A and B are shown apart, each in its own frame.
Chain A
Amino acid sequence: MSVDENTVRRVARLARIAVADDEVSKLKGELDAILAFVEELSELDVEGVPPMTSVIPATARLRDDVVNDGEDAEKVLMNAPAREADFYVVPKVVE
């Protein structure tokens, strides 16, 4: 499987990573090499094999439905690159 340059741009968009035009062909080569490497899996017959969901036997644990954390806006916001009062500031999202 190899990707074309449009796919590289589409994946970059999905990943929310800006890619400059002159990076696209290099990335295409690198993604192709990785996809060629993982292609080896297609030779295996996996019909009827259940996909792994957990490496250890796991059951969902329940906890009491109570607030056990929170009410600490300062700690939540202390690393924000932009804030006003107890809010994060972002570029305008809704017109």
Chain B
Amino acid sequence: MTELCDLTFAEARKALAAKEFSAVELNKAYLEAMEAARGLNAYVLETPEIALERAAESDARIARGEAGALEGLPLGVKDLYCTEGVRTTACSKILGDFTPPYESHVTSLMRSAGAVMLGKLNNDEFAMGSSNETSAFGTPVNPWRRKGSDAKLVAGGSSGGSSAAVAARICLGATATDTGGSIRQPAAFTGTVGVKPTYGRCSRWGIVAFASSLDQAGPIARDVRDAAILMGSMAGYDKRDSTSVDTPVPDYEAAVGRSVKGLRIGVPKEYRVDGMPAEIEKLWSQGAEQLKAAGAEIVEVSLPHTKYALPAYYIVAPAEASSNLARYDGVRYGARVAGRDITEMYENTRAAGFGSEVRRRIMIGAYVLSAGYYDAYYVRAQKVRTLIKQDFETVFAAGVDAILTPATPSAAFGVGEMANASPVEMYLNDVFTVTVNMAGLPGVSVPAGLSAEGLPLALQLIGRPFDEETLFATAAVIEDANGRFTADRWW
């Protein structure tokens, strides 16, 4: 049944409508593929009973002519999304066997559209990481390997379970979240398409919070069209998220294939960082040529505060994390470790429950928010954030429609390869993606070629606020020009 898993959702949708196979058959094929791919450690929890039950409901709706936009879609859900009655841990020990009695807004929209949940996907603990190596469930393995090597590579992070599962064809699409690059970087490492929507486009309600002013939900999918289809059912207003935006959700799929003729695409000179590998440089100029060939105009632009985005992020994100993660106190949910008094109980619970990266970020956050340092660190970082946003506003005001950059500074690296690197070296993975979160903009990561070692490389397109459509149109041009990239099955 592996052929069923090779279809995109757009293809499967057509076949489902034509009754060539049923939603139950499609989802069964995925459940089998998941079982065969357990060595990849992409899923932290499989939910086959739920999948088959919902797939049968999908078949009933298809038979009645009531198919939704995601009817029958075999979906993987990042373990950061609360799922009603299904264990949700953010891949942290501190949440233990937490079972939410509610469903996140985004997954409930997807379920209403007919999506079928296959299980919960691995991620970095509380989404803090760029390689998914901080997960309490261990590291998911990238389906891609270097030419002539069987060394295990990371699938990126924090949504490494989502990217690995989509690339390994053990789900047809996945939910993910992006705080500094956690959708786009793992998508880039696995030859998949990842979309980080405009801040406010998707509700954060029911998604475990990391840094609330930066967090945004989005899809990882097989190709641009599938990503657009998924986005259409993930976006939408939710009164329970005070930052959710009440504007109509456009027909994203209609933007795929739309002409890019006459669009102005900015290429920011500040992204030409020191030591950028020649193959990334080449990929980038090739992408610009491809957009030009499709009728777009390429212009050099300047985003002068780019280099300050990452240091500012490593103040703002830990500060918000230290505040958000204060709720894990061993009282209301999760594991508890006893102490002589309540403070010691909190301290022991949090020391045992949080992994080292999470502890480090909470402590940095507590430090930059503490009396005497708040203005020097936190307020200064928020001012820098204003400057970063103004850089983009200036470029867009000059008539630029989208900005083209590399998605990551390198291809996927080996599991454990960065073990002796400093935290800061790991943070550099997000150098091209983090500006987008700081400014609240939409960004898409689209595969554009293979490295000399045979690993996927990707480009990023950054759009105006709420103009995801232009991103789908431009990303489709890059995709059409370079073709799709599929990992050979070895697992």
B382 lies within 8 A of A51 (CB): yes
| Cα separation A6 to B383 with both chains bound (whole Å) | 30
Q: How far is the CB of B86 from chain A (nearest CB, A)?
A: 13
Closest to B339 in A: A91
| Cα separation A25 to B398 with both chains bound (whole Å) | 50
Q: Which of B213, B331, B341, B438 counts the most A-chain CB atoms under 10 A from its CB?
A: B331
Q: Which of A41, A82, A88 contacts B380 (CB 8 A)?
A: A41
A52 lies within 8 A of B342 (CB): no
B271 at the interface (CB under 8 A from A): no
| Cα separation A31 to B423 with both chains bound (whole Å) | 9
Cβ contacts under 8 Å, A3 to chain B: 367
Cβ contacts under 8 Å, A81 to chain B: 96, 330-331, 333-336
Closest to B358 in A: A17
B382 lies within 8 A of A52 (CB): yes
Instruction: Given A56-B243, A79-B332, A80-B331, check contact A31 B383 (CB 8 Å).
Output: no
B297 at the interface (CB under 8 A from A): no
B482 at the interface (CB under 8 A from A): no
| Cα separation A58 to B241 with both chains bound (whole Å) | 12
A55 lies within 8 A of B213 (CB): yes
| Cα separation A42 to B329 with both chains bound (whole Å) | 35
The interface on chain B, measured as residues whose beta carbon lies within 8 A of the other chain's beta carbons, has a size of: 72
The interface on chain A, measured as residues whose beta carbon lies within 8 A of the other chain's beta carbons, has a size of: 49
B45 at the interface (CB under 8 A from A): no
Cβ contacts under 8 Å, B347 to chain A: 12-13, 16-18
B342 lies within 8 A of A91 (CB): yes
Q: Which of A3, A34, A50, A56 counts the most B-chain CB atoms under 10 A from its CB?
A: A34
Cβ contacts under 8 Å, B365 to chain A: 15
B384 lies within 8 A of A44 (CB): yes
| Cα separation A51 to B1 with both chains bound (whole Å) | 55
Cβ contacts under 8 Å, A78 to chain B: 99, 101
Q: Which of A17-63 contact B (CB under 8 A)?
A: 17-19, 27, 30-31, 33-35, 37-42, 44, 46, 49-56, 58, 60-61, 63
B137 at the interface (CB under 8 A from A): no
Q: How far is the CB of B22 from chain A (nearest CB, A)?
A: 35
Instruction: Given A17-B363, A55-B439, check contact A80 B383 (CB 8 Å).
Output: no
B387 lies within 8 A of A80 (CB): no
A93 at the interface (CB under 8 A from B): yes
A-B CB contacts (within 8 Å), total count: 162
Closest to B316 in A: A52
| Cα separation A11 to B311 with both chains bound (whole Å) | 20
B55 at the interface (CB under 8 A from A): no
Closest to B361 in A: A34
| Cα separation A70 to B232 with both chains bound (whole Å) | 31
Q: Which of A17, A18, A27, A41 contacts B381 (CB 8 A)?
A: A41
Q: How far is the CB of B248 from chain A (nearest CB, A)?
A: 16
A90 lies within 8 A of B342 (CB): yes
Q: How far is the CB of A48 from chain B (nearest CB, A)?
A: 9
A33 lies within 8 A of B200 (CB): no
Q: How far is the CB of B219 from chain A (nearest CB, A)?
A: 20
| Cα separation A40 to B199 with both chains bound (whole Å) | 26
Cβ contacts under 8 Å, B360 to chain A: 27, 30-31, 34
| Residue interface mask B427-467, A partner, CB < 8 A = 1 | 10000000000111000000000000000000000000100
| Cα separation A82 to B337 with both chains bound (whole Å) | 11
Closest to A77 in B: B332
B424 lies within 8 A of A33 (CB): yes
| Cα separation A54 to B239 with both chains bound (whole Å) | 17
B354 at the interface (CB under 8 A from A): yes
Cβ contacts under 8 Å, B424 to chain A: 33-34, 37
B350 lies within 8 A of A16 (CB): yes
A33 lies within 8 A of B333 (CB): no
A14 lies within 8 A of B370 (CB): yes
| Cα separation A42 to B384 with both chains bound (whole Å) | 10
B387 lies within 8 A of A46 (CB): yes
B346 lies within 8 A of A16 (CB): yes
Cβ contacts under 8 Å, B200 to chain A: 56, 58
Q: 11 more A-B contacts (CB under 8 A) besides A11-B367, A17-B350, A90-B331?
A: A11-B366, A16-B350, A17-B351, A17-B359, A34-B423, A37-B310, A42-B380, A44-B308, A46-B387, A79-B98, A92-B342
Interface residues of A (CB under 8 A from B): 3, 7-8, 11-19, 27, 30-31, 33-35, 37-42, 44, 46, 49-56, 58, 60-61, 63, 75, 78-82, 88, 90-93
Could you list 24 A-B pairs, sorted by A, with CB under 8 Å?
A8-B363, A12-B347, A15-B322, A15-B365, A15-B366, A17-B363, A19-B351, A31-B360, A33-B423, A34-B360, A34-B423, A35-B367, A40-B307, A41-B381, A51-B386, A52-B385, A55-B199, A55-B439, A58-B200, A61-B239, A75-B101, A79-B334, A88-B332, A90-B331
- Nearest first, the 10 closest Cβ-Cβ pairs linking A and B are A55-B440, A51-B382, A79-B333, A18-B351, A18-B347, A52-B385, A46-B383, A81-B336, A75-B101, A15-B366
